[in-house]
């Protein structure tokens, strides 16, 4: 069902410092910050030859990332994103197998302009999973 790993997302307490570390220390290609108000985050994508790293920073007072950073002040891995061919079919199959889809269960448009869903971390070994339709 899942395809390639699209990205690993890391919540960070200082977006500029984290982006500079990937760019200046590791020599990675770092994209410009992008506000995603529907998700309550500002993101920066780090382009790698085989996948991406997504840096997440809170956007607004109700950002879910702020809660994560309150518990993890140094930041940390927030989720992994896998590509799927048909997000609705993937959702229905996963729900039939007992996985919980977060939110309303309906896809939202993600940072890449494609439909995304999130799966409850308790159903996946403590890891929040994002599915993105390709």
Pick the catalytic residue: 54, 83, 130, 132?
130
Q: Which residues pair with 132 in a beta bridge?
A: 83, 116
d(CA 84, CA 115): 10
- What is the SS3 assignment for 19? helix
For residue 101, give the DSSP letter.
B
Q: Where are the beta strands (DSSP E) in 59-114?
A: 76-84, 108-109
Sign, CA torsion 26/12/127/109: negative
Smallest CA-to-CA distance from 7 within 60, 59, 44, 35 is with: 44
Is 130 a known active-site residue? yes
- Which positions are catalytic? 130
């Amino acid at each position: 069902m899942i395809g390639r790993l699209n990205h690993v997302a890391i919540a960070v307490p200082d977006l500029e410092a984290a982006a500079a570390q990937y760019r200046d220390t590791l020599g990675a290609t770092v994209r410009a910050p992008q506000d995603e108000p529907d998700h309550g985050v500002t993101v920066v994508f780090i382009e790698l030859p085989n996948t991406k790293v997504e840096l997440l920073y809170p956007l607004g007072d109700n950002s879910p990332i702020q809660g994560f950073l309150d518990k993890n002040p140094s930041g940390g891995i927030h989720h992994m994103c896998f590509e799927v061919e048909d997000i609705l079919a993937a959702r229905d199959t996963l729900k039939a197998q007992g996985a919980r889809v977060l939110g309303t269960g309906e896809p939202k448009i993600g940072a890449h302009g494609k439909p995304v869903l999130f799966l409850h971390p308790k159903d996946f070994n403590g890891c929040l999973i994002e599915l993105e339709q390709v």
